[in-house]
């Protein structure tokens, strides 16, 4: 076990833990945002750079500060390490810069995007974004394409976190889905649009932090904050069958995996609770499910606040959970 | 200062063949190392020599070798980085084309020192004809018994392969190169772990530049201490520079570190001055990613001392008034060259070559390219210059690999030293489209 201090809070974690996971052990404000890291998908992380933190002291043995900000999701802790996240002006400034970079080519089409309300980029921009863009050029655009018959890809909205690539690599047939081209022309693609044909491909939608991959059975049906999340289960021979139903009255609008406060799928029976495409896309009738009960969503995003409030206002505590 | 170690005998016809190379003292270092030295002794000699990596960063080669993890039962690999793609740099090309056996000899000795039984030369896809030259030379070395099983009866086995890349600049970054060698998309890896611990196929690996490995031959032949006597201070040995741009005699030159920059540009043995009797305006001394220097800082440092061709002297003054030795791509600009256009050209290169993995580099390089494109074509604003400076600051240090910095530094330096010229492009839109700003002298604006 090693001791590490993050934003003046000390925590003891196992050797080899990343700074981000140590921060998650503390929880709350000290946790850096993560757009590309996904704890259930080995190999993710390091790409979006939103989780950059300042290391004020490398370790007990070598207390020199690290000259550059480091990606907390892929940097292992050392005994006696001192990390600054919220308390560092430099982190704040650079995180704002990263958000600006992520947004310059983002269409900002939240009003018509299905992800709005549960979008990590929306949350991040809300917290760190600038009021106005400095980008005067034309944004890069792509045509939306179908990845299989149930998934739509809006490359315009993609921030290239590579999470879906890892899903494709780890949960479905290898190498059917990847990145084409490079630099700002990089795009997620299957090369031949309908190539992803696998029972677990739908999990790409769940891991996507933005609205780039959306569920074609749910597109444009409703805003997520109008729906009631209900825990439900069914007997499924492919997956755990433990899901979240998004309901309006007695109608099931969509089915997703159960996610924790970091937007990652929760473990079910000791394994990541990925769900299969049959559960996700085909069981849309209440008879298919045993409904357990409503679920509270504790994220700070628009969805749980019920309405948009100014970040300067101190009244967040008084606002009830809109979706209860 | 004209001293040839690497390019010794490069004038001899047929030096690219084994027979001629061997007759001129080739493969002596292999005999010496394998028969009389232990691997540790070779590493020690390289450490003593003070040899610094010739690929750009200038990290001491011996120190890099000493970091190599040596777990039991796991193979180790020596990888030669011949993915020479930096604009302005073409020294490795010359070395491999002319004296391929020099590199092979260096690799055999280095593989012996590091305990690698399978080594690779990763060569850029555009150098396909050099791949043929190398493969021919490797076949000759196999035939002569310098490669293969039980080399010279020492019990040391080595296989050497050449692997071509697809032509991406990013594959010159060591971890991207390893990914590419593994057959994947050339995206740099997150560090740590460093290649010395987990490299090719998860095994400890050392990645060295062509010129560094070729230099090991001389170090083994003459001893590390002898090699350390060449050069100046901590810049030991000889270095290849590829001079290009507006010089009278561009080309690849081998020089002993410590030659003055003035002598290199104007000397009869070297570049023979600026072409067509023009004046020097600026110089990028180490390949496109190092900061550009204006004429008054090229031959003299800010403190007024002579600037020398060495790691320390070229970096003298930090980024405020210095540059870097980098990979030795010495690009010279005469009075007619437009710095804005050139900066845009570099930015275009980096935007094109960014792998697109991490957001600051993917979005930032493209953004800078677009802003510079606007400035160059007379559509810029004065606030664009501040914007560029700000984008630079926000890319620098926030990326996975150094490509972000390589893209940011030349733009930052160009604005630092040639801000007036950038401003002139905004204030004299029409004029900037028909003529160049010329030398950085106020008089030149008052016709």
Q: What is the ipTM of this complex?
A: 0.89
Shortest CA distance to A139 belongs to which of A158, A121, A125? A158
Backbone angles phi, psi at B434, to 5 degrees: -105, -20
Contacts of A178 in chain B (CB under 8 A): 185
Percent of chain A residues topping a pLDDT of 90: 54
- Cα distances from B114 to residues A203, B42, B61, B81, in angstroms, run 45, 9, 12, 16
The pLDDT of residue A300: 57
pLDDT interval class at B268 (50, 70, 90): very high
**What pLDDT sits at residue B151?**
93
Share of chain B above pLDDT 70, in %: 98
Q: Outline where DSSP puts E strands in B69-226.
A: 76-82, 116-123, 159-164, 205-209
pTM, 2 dp: 0.90
Per-residue confidence band for A117, with pLDDT thresholds at 50, 70 and 90: confident
What number is the average pLDDT over the span B388-417? 93
Predicted pLDDT at B340: 94
Alpha carbon distance A212, A165 (integer Å):
13
pLDDT at B441 (0 to 100): 52
| Interfacial A residues in 38-67 facing B (CB < 8 Å) | 45-50, 52, 67
Q: What local confidence, expressed as pLDDT, does residue B438 receive?
A: 75
CB A217 within 8 A of CB A278: no
- Any chain A CB within 8 A of the CB of B362? yes
> From CA B101, how far away is CA B118, in angstroms rounded?
17
Nearest in space to B437 (alpha carbons), one of B365, B375, B371: B375
pLDDT on residue A298 = 63
Lowest mean per-residue pLDDT among A18-22, A43-47, A222-226, B174-178: A222-226
Verify whether the Cβ–Cβ distance A69 to B398 is below 8 Å.
Answer: yes
* Number of C-beta neighbours around residue A228 at 10 A: 14
CB-hemisphere CA count at 13 Å for A191? 8
Q: Which of B356, B369, B373, B405 to mutate to test the interface with A (most CBs of A within 10 A)?
A: B356
Distance CA A211, CA B280 (A): 53
Tell me the pLDDT of chain A averaged across its residues.
86
Most confident of A176-185, A309-318, B67-76: B67-76
Q: B44: helix, coil or strand?
A: helix
Confidence class for position B370, pLDDT limits 50, 70, 90: very high
B363 and A67: CB-CB below 8 Å? no
CB contact set of A132 (below 8 Å; sequence gap of 6+): none
Query: What domains are defined for chain B?
Result: 18-229 (3.40.50.11540), 232-334 (3.10.20.600), 339-445 (1.20.1440.230)
Length of chain A: 324
In order of B88, B104, B424, B443, the CA distances from B438 in angstroms are 22, 46, 11, 10
Question: Contact at 8 Å (CB) between B423 and A130?
Answer: no
pLDDT score, position B324? 93
Residue B240's closest CA among B201, B211, B274, B267?
Answer: B211
Task: For B396, name the nearest residue in chain A, comparing CA atoms only.
Answer: A68
Q: What is the pLDDT of residue A303?
A: 56
The predicted-structure confidence for B191-235, as pLDDT tens digits, reads as follows: 888 999 999 999 999 999 999 999 999 999 999 999 999 999 999
How remote is the C-alpha of B392 from its chain's centroid?
22
How sure is the predictor about A287, in pLDDT bands with cuts at 50, 70 and 90? very high
pLDDT of residue A305: 52
Beta pairing class for A242-248 and A251-256: antiparallel
The pairing of beta strand A213-215 with beta strand A228-233: unpaired
* Mean pLDDT confidence for A210-232: 90
Average pLDDT, integer, range B381-385: 93
The pLDDT value recorded for residue A318 is 42
Q: State the Cα–Cα distance between residues A165 and A158, nearest whole angstrom.
A: 12
Q: Are A74 and B192 in contact (CB under 8 A)?
A: no
What average pLDDT does the segment A3-11 reach? Answer: 94
∠ Cα A184 B405 A164 (to 5°): 40
Rounded (5°) CA angle B412-B416-B419: 110
Q: What's A280's DSSP letter?
A: I
Q: How confident is the model at residue A308 (pLDDT cuts 50, 70, 90)?
A: very low
The edge-to-edge listing of strands for the beta sheet with A151-153 is A145-147, A151-153, A213-215
- The answer to whether B314 and B323 have CB atoms below 8 angstroms apart is yes
pLDDT, tens only, B356-366: 999 999 999 99
Confidence at residue B392, expressed as pLDDT on a 0 to 100 scale? 93
Give me the residue from B358, B363, B394 closest to A94, CB to CB.
Answer: B394
Residue B67 CB: number of other CB atoms within 10 A? 12
CA dihedral A247, A252, A256, A258 (to 10 degrees): 50
pLDDT, position B442: 46
- Give the CA radius of gyration of chain B: 22
pLDDT at B440 exceeding the cut of 60: no
Walk me through the domains of chain A, giving residue ranges and CATH numbers: 2-100 (3.10.20.740), 105-294 (3.30.70.20)
Residues 181-200 of B with CB under 8 A from A: 185, 190, 192
pLDDT given at position A304: 56
- A137 at B interface, C-beta within 8 A: yes
Q: What is the pLDDT of residue A147?
A: 84
Q: Each residue of A78-101: pLDDT tens digit?
A: 999 999 999 999 999 999 999 999
Q: How far lies A322's CA from each of A120, A262, A295, in Å?
A: 18, 19, 12
Q: Which of A46, A104, A179 sits opposite B367 (nearest CB)?
A: A104
Taking the CB of residue A304, how many other CB atoms lie within 10 A of it?
19
Residue A268 clears pLDDT 60, i.e. is over it: yes
Lowest-confidence region among A257-271, B198-212, B280-294, B334-348:
A257-271
Q: Does B387 touch chain A (CB under 8 A)?
A: yes
The DSSP letter of residue B437 is: -
Determine the distance in angstroms separating the CA of A194 from the nearest CA of chain B, rounded to an integer.
22
Nearest to B310 by CA among B240, B390, B420, B231: B231
A97-106, A260-269, B54-63, B430-439: range with lowest mean pLDDT: B430-439
- Write down the H helix ranges in B182-298: 210-222, 224-229, 261-266, 295-298
Cβ B411 vs Cβ B372: under 8 Å: yes
Residue of A25, A39, A49 whose CA lies nearest to A100: A49
Which residue in A48, A97, A184 is closest to B351 by CB distance?
A184
Q: Distance (Å, rounded) from C-alpha B371 to C-alpha B384?
A: 7
- Report the alpha-carbon distance of residue A269 to residue B23 in Å, rounded: 72
pLDDT band, very low/low/confident/very high, at A319 (cuts 50, 70, 90): very low
Residue B185 to residue A179, Cβ atoms within 8 A:
yes
Least confident of A78-92, A114-128, B125-139: A114-128
Kindly give the interhelix angle for B403-427 and B382-395, rounded to the nearest 10 degrees: 170
Structure tokens at A191: 């090369």
Nearest beta carbon to residue B370 from set A47, A137, A186? A137
Task: Check CB contact under 8 Å for A101 and B364.
Answer: yes
- A25 pLDDT band (50/70/90 cuts)? very high
Contacts of B364 in chain A (CB under 8 A): 101
The H-or-E segment that residue A242 falls in is strand A242-248
Average pLDDT, chain B: 92
Spatial neighbors of B169 by CB under 8 A, at least 6 apart, are: B83, B85, B86, B349, B353, B403
CA–CA separation, B215 and B116 (whole Å): 18
d(CA A88, CA A86): 6
């Amino acid at each position: 076990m090693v001791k590490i201090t993050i934003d003046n809070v000390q925590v003891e974690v196992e050797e080899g833990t990343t700074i981000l996971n140590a921060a998650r052990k503390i929880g709350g404000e000290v946790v850096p945002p993560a757009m590309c890291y996904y704890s259930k998908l080995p190999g993710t992380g390091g790409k979006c750079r939103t989780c950059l933190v300042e290391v004020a002291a490398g370790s007990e043995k070598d207390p020199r500060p690290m000259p550059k900000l480091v990606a907390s999701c892929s940097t292992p802790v050392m005994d006696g390490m001192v990390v600054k996240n919220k308390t560092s002006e430099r982190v704040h400034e650079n995180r704002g810069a990263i958000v600006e970079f992520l947004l310059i080519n983002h269409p900002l089409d939240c009003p018509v995007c299905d992800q709005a309300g549960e979008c990590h980029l929306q949350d991040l921009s809300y917290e760190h974004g600038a009021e106005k863009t400095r980008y005067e050029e034309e944004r890069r655009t792509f045509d939306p394409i179908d990845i299989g018959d149930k998934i739509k890809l809006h490359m315009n909205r993609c921030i290239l976190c590579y999470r879906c690539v890892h899903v494709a690599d780890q949960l479905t047939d290898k190498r059917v889905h990847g990145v084409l081209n490079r630099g700002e022309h990089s795009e997620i693609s299957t090369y031949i649009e309908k190539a992803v044909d696998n029972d677990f491909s739908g999990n790409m939608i769940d891991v996507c932090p933005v609205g780039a991959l959306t569920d074609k059975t749910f597109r444009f049906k409703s805003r997520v904050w109008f729906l009631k999340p209900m825990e439900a289960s069914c007997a499924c021979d492919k997956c755990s069958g433990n899901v979240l139903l998004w309901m309006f009255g007695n109608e099931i609008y969509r089915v997703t995996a159960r996610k924790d406060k970091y937007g990652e799928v929760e473990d079910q029976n000791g394994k990541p609770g990925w769900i299969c495409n049959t559960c996700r896309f085909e069981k849309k009738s209440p008879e298919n499910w045993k409904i357990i009960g409503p679920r509270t969503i504790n994220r700070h995003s628009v969805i749980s606040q019920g309405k948009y409030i100014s970040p300067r206002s101190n009244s967040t505590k008084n606002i009830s959970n809109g979706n209860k | 200062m004209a001293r040839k170690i690497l390019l010794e005998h490069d004038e001899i016809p047929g030096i690219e063949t084994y027979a001629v190379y061997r007759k001129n003292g080739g493969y002596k270092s292999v005999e010496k190392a394998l028969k009389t030295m232990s691997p540790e002794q070779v590493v020690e000699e390289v450490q003593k020599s003070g040899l610094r990596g010739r690929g750009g960063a200038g990290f001491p080669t011996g120190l890099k070798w000493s970091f190599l993890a040596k777990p039991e039962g796991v193979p180790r690999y020596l990888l030669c980085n011949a993915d020479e793609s930096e604009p302005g740099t073409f020294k490795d090309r010359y070395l491999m084309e002319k004296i391929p056996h020099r590199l092979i000899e260096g690799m055999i000795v280095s593989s012996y020192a590091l305990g690698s039984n399978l080594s690779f030369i990763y060569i850029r896809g555009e150098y396909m004809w050099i791949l043929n030259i190398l493969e021919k030379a490797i076949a000759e070395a196999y035939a002569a018994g310098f490669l293969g099983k039980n080399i010279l009866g020492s019990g040391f086995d080595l296989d050497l392969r050449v692997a071509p890349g697809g032509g991406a600049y990013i594959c010159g970054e060591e971890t991207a190169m390893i990914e590419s060698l593994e057959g994947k998309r050339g995206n740099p890896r997150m560090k740590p772990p460093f290649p010395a611990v987990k490299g090719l196929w998860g095994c400890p690996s050392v990645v060295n530049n062509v010129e560094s490995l070729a230099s090991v031959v001389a170090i083994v032949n003459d001893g590390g201490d002898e090699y350390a006597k060449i050069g100046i201070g901590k810049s030991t040995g000889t270095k290849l520079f590829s001079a290009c741009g507006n010089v009278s005699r561009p080309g690849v030159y081998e020089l002993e570190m410590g030659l003055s920059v003035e002598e290199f540009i104007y000397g009869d043995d070297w570049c023979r001055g600026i072409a067509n009797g023009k004046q020097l305006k600026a110089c990028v001394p180490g390949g496109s990613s190092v900061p550009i220097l204006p004429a008054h800082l090229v031959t003299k440092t800010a403190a007024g001392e002579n600037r020398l061709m060495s790691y320390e002297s070229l970096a003298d003054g930090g980024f405020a008034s210095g540059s870097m030795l980098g990979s030795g791509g010495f690009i010279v600009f005469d009075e007619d060259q437009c710095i804005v256009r050139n900066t845009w050209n570099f930015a275009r290169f980096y935007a094109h070559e960014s792998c697109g993995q991490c957001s600051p580099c993917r979005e930032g390089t493209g953004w800078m390219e677009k802003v510079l494109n606007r400035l160059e074509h007379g559509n810029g604003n004065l606030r664009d210059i501040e914007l560029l400076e700000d984008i630079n600051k926000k890319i620098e240090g926030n990326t996975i690999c150094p490509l972000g910095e390589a893209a940011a530094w030349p733009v930052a330096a160009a604005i630092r030293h040639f801000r007036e010229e950038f401003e002139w492009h905004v204030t004299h839109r029409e004029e900037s489209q028909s003529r160049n700003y010329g030398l950085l002298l106020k008089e030149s604006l008052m016709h």
